[in-house]
Amino acid sequence: MKTRDLVLSALFVAIVYLATAYLRIPSPDITGAGQVHTGTAVVFVISVAFGPKMGAISSLGMILFNLTWGLVLWAPVNLISRPIMAIIFGSIAHGANARGEKIHRNILAALVGGLWLVAAMYVGQVVVFGVPWAVPLAFVPNNVMQIVLALMLGLPMIRIIRRYKLNQKA
């Protein structure tokens, strides 16, 4: 890994952590399930603007959030679901030589990655907390809202980042 990539990875993990920890609407549930936060939007932006690998690495910021905010039981769920979500985001956005530049592919990336996230968090809550299958349905809207935020906040940010990257002498 190049020094630049290592530095960007660390920076992105930190930004995702901060977005997850401080730009969120806490859940009234004691498990912390289904919080609405902007960490998913940041991972979406990074996955589309910098590729699936960088997005997957950046998602580790959410696991750090779980470990430092008393939501340790969610760390394994996020360790599986979030990097895969980022890979889905980035792979679709960069597929067919799109390089994250095609808005319709970016929207499709968010929707498919979002479906994965909703399903993974649903199953994760059943497995980790041992609740009946109907209980996690209450948290589906919060997880859907994270994807809506990813689209609303992410699409304009991707455009800005792309413009900056094109003007930059790498």
In whole angstroms, what is the distance from residue 7 CA to residue 120 CA?
30
Cβ(39)–Cβ(62) below 8 Å: yes
Cβ(113)–Cβ(44) below 8 Å: yes
Which tokens hold the place of 19?
């977005």
* Closest CA relative to residue 116, chosen from 59, 54, 61: 59
Looking at domain 3-162, does it have CATH number 2.60.120.260? no
* Closest CA relative to residue 147, chosen from 101, 82, 99: 82
pLDDT (tens digit, 0 to 9) for every residue of the chain, 170 residues total? 799 999 999 999 999 999 999 998 766 665 555 678 999 999 999 999 999 999 999 999 999 999 999 999 999 999 999 999 999 999 999 999 999 999 999 999 999 999 999 999 999 999 999 999 998 998 898 899 999 999 999 999 999 998 887 666 54
* Closest CA relative to residue 142, chosen from 31, 15, 48, 50: 31
Greatest extent of the chain over all pairs of C-alpha atoms, in Å? 54
Q: Where are the domains of the chain?
A: 3-162
* Closest CA relative to residue 99, chosen from 137, 131, 146, 52: 52
Residue range 120-160, pLDDT digits in tens: 999 999 999 999 999 899 889 889 999 999 999 999 999 99
